[in-house]
Structure 1
Amino acid sequence: MTSTLGFAILAVLARGDRTGYDLAAAMRRPVGYFWTAGHSQIHAELQKLRTGGLVRFTTEHGPGPQDKKLYHLTAEGLAALREWVTEPARERPERDELVLKTYASWLAEPGLVRRLFADQLAAHEERLAEYERQEASFGGPPPFGDPRFGNYATLRCGLSYERHRAEWCRWMLAQLSDSL
Structure 2
Amino acid sequence: MPPRATLNVVVQDSTYKPLLSAQGTFYAKVGEHREVRLVYQGSTPTDSGAEFLRFEVPTDGLYRKPDGTAFGATDSILITVTVVDPKQFLFDFQPSGLQFSPSNPARLKVEYHYAQPDFNGDGTIDSRDAEIEAMLSLWRREPPDTLWFKTAAVRSVELEEFDADIFSFSQYAVAW
TM-score (norm 2): 0.23
Which structure is higher in strand share? 2
Greater relative contact order: 1 or 2 (C-alpha under 8 angstroms, separation 6 or more)? 2
TM-score (norm 1): 0.22
Which structure is higher in helix share? 1
